[in-house]
Chains A and B, each alone.
Chain A
Amino acid sequence: MGFDSLVFFFSEALTNLRRAGMMTFVTVSTIAVALLLMGTFLLASMNMESFLARLQEEAMVTAFLVPGTASDRVSALKLQITAFEEVTDVTVVTPEAAARELFSDPADQKLLEVGLGEGTNPLPYTIRMKVRSSHDLPALIEKVKGLPQVESVSYGEEAFRQFQGLSNLLWIGSLLVIILLGLASLFIVYNTVRLTLFMRREEVTIMRLVGATNWFIRWPFVIEGFLHGLLGAAIALVILAFGTPFIMARLAALVPFFRFEPGAVALVKLSVKLCLMGVVLGISGSLLCLRDLNAFGREL
């Protein structure tokens, strides 16, 4: 493809965008709305994911030791656990401290004084550790479970599983929404491009007559589809950029622990994703219309 052809394709595409006016508006806004919704869902699941990741990283693994373990064995164990690479922070909680924690409510304090003195404390030694990263969690739990004197390990699995389930549900939901929206907008884009193609059938017929290859005929339409997609994505991104902080502020006011500060990288990734989706939508809409150009000769 020569440079002159490239110039021709772009000027054709731009002229057609302008001439198609209303069609361009319909196509671009369809893509924009679809991408806006897709973007919202992507943001929501990103949100959930980062929340979950934080939850996991702050999760403490607690190892309960066999009751009656001697304190020198406990310190040996602590050293052993500290040596694990998955662990960042290890603290030993003595039965006394555990009891104090358990009855930290002033109302329960009396109970402690009355019922549980030296030697009557039923609580075992516990060792608490922080995980370096949530990915290391399963491995660490296995290791700790394998240690002698460790009776059981707990890591708030119930809550964790529930959140994980919720997050998975959100993922599946947004995937579904993205697919459905994608198909719906593809259908609309396909139909509008078909209309513009119909408006230009004379031109296509003549192009075929003078020996234009099918790809030469397709290029301006493909570029048009590309611009439709990019423009739609840009509109969706602008709305998201202004809308998200507004909604997040409202949400944060409602749910205090809910905070969302996605990194710049994540936001760039999201933007790229949306632009790609828009471009794919626009181009595939055009290409779908232009599968069979031979039909144009029939009108000669």
Chain B
Amino acid sequence: MLFPRFLAILPLDRPGLVRLSLFAMIELQNVTKIYPNGVRALNNVSLTIPAGDFVFLVGPSGAGKSTFLRLLFREELPTEGQVIVDGKDIVTMPEGRVPYLRRNLGIVLQDFQLLKRRTVAENVAFGLRVIGAPENVINARVQEALEQVGLSHKRRMYPDELSGGEQQRVCIARAVVNNPLILITDEPTGNLDPMISLEIVQLFLEINARGTTVIMATHNHHLVNKLRKRVIALVEGRIIKDEPGGTYAYE
């Protein structure tokens, strides 16, 4: 089984080719999420994120950042409102289509989520393996993705033999091996020191430069203030600030 996406794959060293116009990659309209236990995680949230954007999502713990991200890869459904990702309505989307939505998304979480019994290369390959990609495509793409995160020399190592920053880079390689439209990251630098965190964000910028929309939820105000990207601040489930080139402050 060969997917057109593989045939159309662009070399990772030719930035900007996939960057499309300003069509909305993500659109939320009056989204409210109330969990079964009564917690109101999102309250009437509306926003648009155009393709190719780089967005920092900030706010105190419990402000609804993770809920927002989980809506995007349809791990949660909104209680009210509409969520459109890559032109697809995730509310009306049948259960069986969800995996196909996720194949267009790269997801990186705070805890590294690597399989300890598989090598670095196998972990990265996992993202392609599960969508039934042929072996030769897998090998080529894994090599590319590992080169991109600067870990191709450690491809045969196991996650436990790597540092935290390296493990997170493996996760990023796994997330981008599929050339995703959107990279969704939830506190990816939460367990890492400032230097390594900067390296990780540098990677996100590179990925963004190739056309992937990046959304990063973070508490790292140094990074946010340094990079001056679009900042969306959530407090108690509401957007209290959404400005391009913004800073971390949400008080």
Closest chain B CB from A295 CB (angstroms): 11
Chain B 24-77 residues near chain A, CB threshold 8 A = 70, 73, 75
Q: Which candidate, B7-15, B131-139, B228-236, is the interface stretch facing chain A? A: B131-139
Query: Given the interface contacts A1-B132, A4-B134, A300-B70, does A211 sit within 8 Å of B113 by beta carbon?
Result: no
* B102 interface neighbour in A5, A210, A214, A217, Cβ under 8 Å: A210
* A8 interface neighbour in B73, B99, B113, B129, Cβ under 8 Å: B129
Chain B 80-121 residues near chain A, CB threshold 8 A = 95-96, 99-103, 105, 107, 109, 113, 115, 117
Q: Are the C-beta atoms of A4 and B135 separated by less than 8 Å? A: yes
Q: Are the C-beta atoms of A211 and B109 separated by less than 8 Å? A: no
Q: Are the C-beta atoms of A209 and B115 separated by less than 8 Å? A: no
Say if the beta carbon of A170 comes within 8 Å of chain B: no
* A211 interface neighbour in B75, B115, B131, B135, Cβ under 8 Å: B131
Return the CB mask of A1-20 against B: 1 if under 8 Å, else 0: 11011001000000000010
Q: How far is the CA of A216 from the CA of B95 in the complex (A)?
A: 15
SS class, residues of chain A in contact with chain B: helix
Considering only CB atoms, which chain A residue lies closest to B117 in the complex? Answer: A19
Considering only CB atoms, which chain B residue lies closest to A209 in the complex? Answer: B107
Return the CB mask of A195-212 against B: 1 if under 8 Å, else 0: 000000011011111111
Say if the beta carbon of A297 comes within 8 Å of chain B: yes
Q: How far is the CA of A203 from the CA of B127 in the complex (A)?
A: 12
Q: Are the C-beta atoms of B126 and A2 separated by less than 8 Å? A: no
Say if the beta carbon of B22 comes within 8 Å of chain A: no
Considering only CB atoms, which chain B residue lies closest to A200 in the complex? Answer: B115
Return the CB mask of A257-300 against B: 1 if under 8 Å, else 0: 00000000000000000000000000000000000001001001
The 10 closest A-B pairs by CB, nearest first: A212-B130, A211-B102, A211-B103, A210-B127, A211-B99, A297-B75, A213-B99, A2-B1, A5-B132, A4-B135
Residues in chain A within 8 A of chain B (CB atoms)? 1-2, 4-5, 8, 19, 202-203, 205-214, 216-217, 294, 297, 300
